[in-house]
Amino acid sequence: MGADAPKKKGGRGRSNRGGGGRPRYTKKDKTKFSGANDIPLGARAAPVVGEGDGNGSIFEETLQQGGKKQNLGGGQKRINDKKKKYEEVEFDPKSKKSMDEKKEIKKLNDVLENGPHLEPAQIKTFKDIPISKKTLLGLRDSEYKVPTDIQKESISLALRGMDILGAAKTGSGKTLAFVIPVIEKLYRNLWSKVDGLGAVIITPTRELAYQIFETLRKIGRYHDFSAGLIIGGKDLKFERKRMDQLNIVICTPGRLLQHMDENSSFITTNLQIIVLDEADRCLDMGFEKDMNAILDHLPNERQTLLFSATQTKSVKDLARLSLKSPVYVSVHENSQYSTPEALQQSYVVCPLDSKLNMLWSFLKHHKRSKILVFMSSCKQVRFAHMLFCRMRPGISLLALHGSMHQLKRMACYDEFCKKQAVALFATDIAARGLDFPAVDWVLQLDCPEDATTYIHRAGRTARLNQGGEALLVLLPSEETAMITQLQEKRIPIDKIEVNMKRMISVSRKFEALLARDLTLKECAQRAFKAYLKSVFLMKNKDVFDVSTLDLSSFARSLGLAVAPRVRFLQKRGVAQQATNSGSKSNSDQDSESEGDVEKIIEPTESSATFDFTVDDDEDMDSLFTGKKPAEIDDDDEDFQEPLTINENGSNAKPKKAKTKAAVAKKLIKKKIQINKKLVFDDEGDAVLDTRKEKRSELARNYELEDAAGIDVERAKLVLKEEDQFDKQLFRERVKAKHKEARRKAKLARKGLTEEEVEEQHDSNDVGATLGHEGDSDSDDYQPNLDWLPDPDKIYGSNDEFDSSEPESGYTDDDEDFHQRGKRQREVVNTDSESEEDEPPPKKANKLNKPNKSKQFTQSNKSMDKDLMEDLALQLLRGKR
């Protein structure tokens, strides 16, 4: 039935959206699509790439499980056992494709097992190597045509199943030398998704793993394997869900071991091949525990490939890997030099305090070049990048170190690969395996740990017969021993001199930037300490000697006015001086004991200046930074108390130095509250801060207790007590707010402003002071009351009530007077505006009327009793 047939519930016209059930056909050519996602390797950028099974489509598996399996072809028919009906089945191109693959695999196996061994001289192109057509197509699309020397010798041996130790110069194409055998191994074994994990590629750095993953995607784009990039800094849950679907894993040791320990779905029993890129680094002390644990999880029956520019030959390391008759392949072992011939190498001797000036001058004169600068620590890289970005040298600046987030590291790697004029400040994570295109200069600002590290650093340029230059910066104390090591490793390097006329000094600008930016200053201090720590921890003491460094000048070159304290160097200087003086006294006085070295040993200046703490957050002495420690006792010792030795040879027990941590402990014991602020009023009483201090006795007692945990019931009571004080404070604030609102409303009714009222009060105060100045001490002093209003003008004169009126009559004047008592009293404007009379309430209730009559009778005591009785009767009539 075609695609135009009507769809019925449960019928054949039902579409296959979920990938299962019957196959779907197109309308034009009726080409069948399988339900599986047969995506070639490299089609996705996600960790899981491709999910094809490698054995044809799901449709083939259904036919094999069904009735009779027929030889399918164009126009033929298949018999169904159940319905006994004939239906046309279109030609399946993938079935023929699977048959062709099996034929190809059989042919390749015959060539590898029975064919003659190809010599490297006979291999001109990749077609001369017995590899599959899909791999050849991937190489052609990636523009790989002619194999390199290491590829010619190692690929044919790896295809035969041998364990290989491959060593070649940097940039010689070692990645393809193990990627091609991994793909071919799984392809010839008909590896599918059901078979699980088949190959593991382990690298020491994340960037190198990412680079190998991208190469695998390009070469294996026509294969149906699934590959995953498993490194730190990515989503662990996302990786855990897909680990059981991967055929090839490119990983770092730490993340691989984490999945082996925590992920139950990650099974390695079917593993066919394991590859260690930069094997000498993976097997050294840094990854020893992780690699031992990983190798314990892997099956013994496997193929192992080791590749590096500086290959290990340690019997102990090879025994750990359980290698079986390994073949050592070193195409450049007999060459004159161990570095690429197109690489021009030189070194300069530069003082420690001139390194940054030289780096700045170098960048200013190579603005159109692609430069890679190596430093010894992450903090140095971060400080140099921040500082030079503020200075703006005219070239793009990037930073790559281990403390960065993984996404930023990937973005920095991609950006440096794309740009042509850029400078990258990096640590040794960029020293191994990374293939940066067209790098012009590799500048090693700090001396490498050994000659092997130098080879890997310098190998970032002059790759695949391209040119490049490498410059090594050495201190005067490092020159002799380091150049001897390089010559022993067959590294040609010449000494050059710095043209001082073109040297630019920018130390003053560094000091100005650090004075303005506190963050940059702290970063400089960390870089200073990190460099000293890296130098001290180096194994080769003939090259690296901390005592030969001028630390004060080095600090000034970073822009620091004062060198940070390094406590480790301080202790080391005291101990070293004691040892030296002891050996000297033993040589002069053989009869004396070893303890009689010197009566007093004074600490050196440099030892009392520096503090060897890399991370400021871990420094216990930063508790009272910038403040004097509190003096608890009078007998506090000095911090630099000299070590005293008695004359009779017995060592006196030195007094323990008083540290800031010890002072802090004493403060805690004496219950001295630190950083507590008290505010006092004018009378000297402490003002309680209601926002921080508790006001109830219950709450104060609860805070003083040192009981563990929280007593919920008591906490509720404390909250209730404090809530009462909070409510009272809230009511007082509301009253004050309303009082202020009424005051402003009164001023608004009078048409006055705050400024006018203040001026009136000031004038009244001045007038009152002038009015009785000099007379305040006399007893006859009376205040001036002329400013008060005349009461006769407001209430009327008493003569009105003294006039003769009939006793029983009620005159109009009396009624007017009574009416005036009921009305709202009017305010008479006088010359003085300080009198403020508030109006009575609008509605006079029963309680207010007697009060008015009482006020009226008190103010008119001269009225006779008869008039008062008449007024009382009329008031009673008015109530009725």
Domain boundaries defined on the chain: 58-91, 98-330, 343-522, 798-821+842-880
Per mean pLDDT, which range of 30-34, 551-555, 680-684, 876-880 is the poorest? 30-34
Quote the crossing angle between the two packed helices 812-822 and 848-859, to the nearest 10°: 120
Give per-residue burial for 366-388: e unless 16+ CB within 10 Å, then b: beebbbbbbbbbbbbbbbbbbbb
> C-alpha angle 418/420/421, rounded to 5°?
130
Structure-token match 């990937």, residue found: 410
Distance CA 615, CA 284 (A): 27
Reported as type and span, the H/E element at residue 276 is: strand 273-277
Contacts for 752 with CB less than 8 Å, ≥ 6 apart:
none
The distance of Cα 277 from the centroid of its chain, to the nearest Å, equals 29
Q: Which two tokens stand for residue 769?
A: 């002071």
Reported as type and span, the H/E element at residue 643 is: strand 643-644
Contacts for 634 with CB less than 8 Å, ≥ 6 apart:
none
Over range 471-489, report the average pLDDT: 94
153 in Cβ contact with 331 (< 8 Å): yes
pLDDT in tens, 805-835: 444 444 444 444 444 444 444 444 444 444 4
Side chain identity at residue 490, one-letter code: R
**pLDDT greater at residue 879 or residue 563:** 563
Quote the crossing angle between the two packed helices 288-297 and 253-262, to the nearest 10°: 50
Cα dihedral 14, 16, 21, 24 in deg (nearest 10): 90
Beta bridge partners of 348: 473
Distance CA 509, CA 520 (A): 13
pLDDT in tens, 212-259: 999 999 999 999 999 999 999 888 889 998 898 999 999 999 999 999
Distance CA 854, CA 360 (A): 100
pLDDT in tens, 651-694: 455 566 678 788 777 777 776 666 677 778 877 787 777 777 77
Q: Which two tokens stand for residue 319?
A: 């025994």
378-392, 773-787, 836-850, range with greatest mean pLDDT: 378-392
pLDDT of 200 strictly over 60: yes
Nearest to 108 by CA among 129, 80, 78, 139: 129
Confidence category of residue 273, pLDDT binned at 50, 70, 90 = very high
Count of alpha carbons within 13 angstroms of residue 385, beta-carbon side:
24
Pick among 3.90.550.10, 3.40.50.2000, 3.60.9.10, 3.40.50.300: CATH of 98-330? 3.40.50.300
Q: Which two tokens stand for residue 56?
A: 């044809």
pLDDT of 875 strictly over 70: yes
Other beta carbons less than 10 A from residue 781's beta carbon: 10
What is the pLDDT, as a whole number, of residue 306? Answer: 94
The CATH code for residues 343-522 is 3.40.50.300
Distance CA 525, CA 388 (A): 16
Per residue, the 3-state secondary structure of 61-90, as one string, reads HHHHHCCCCCCCCCCCEEECCCCCCEEECC
51-60, 417-426, 764-773, range with greatest mean pLDDT: 417-426
Distance CA 470, CA 441 (A): 6
Distance CA 291, CA 282 (A): 7
Q: Which two tokens stand for residue 84?
A: 């006994």
Distance CA 703, CA 71 (A): 89
Provide the pairing of β-strand 164-167 with 248-251. unpaired
For 525, 554, 875, the CA distances from 562, given in Å and listed in that order, are 10, 10, 97
What is the pLDDT, as a whole number, of residue 356? Answer: 95
Nearest to 249 by CA among 298, 292, 311, 287: 298
Distance CA 137, CA 482 (A): 47
469 in Cβ contact with 461 (< 8 Å): yes
Distance CA 467, CA 230 (A): 34
* Mean of all residue pLDDT scores within the chain: 75
Provide the pairing of β-strand 468-474 with 679-680. unpaired
pLDDT in tens, 533-592: 999 999 999 999 998 999 999 999 999 999 998 887 877 664 454 445 444 444 444 433
Nearest to 279 by CA among 452, 417, 151: 452
Q: Which two tokens stand for residue 428?
A: 């040794």
**pLDDT greater at residue 270 or residue 584:** 270
Over range 98-106, report the average pLDDT: 86
DSSP, res 714: H
Cα dihedral 385, 389, 392, 396 in deg (nearest 10): 70
The distance of Cα 295 from the centroid of its chain, to the nearest Å, equals 33
What is the pLDDT, as a whole number, of residue 864? Answer: 58
What is the pLDDT, as a whole number, of residue 127? Answer: 92
Distance CA 433, CA 169 (A): 11
* 98-330 and 343-522 have identical folds: yes
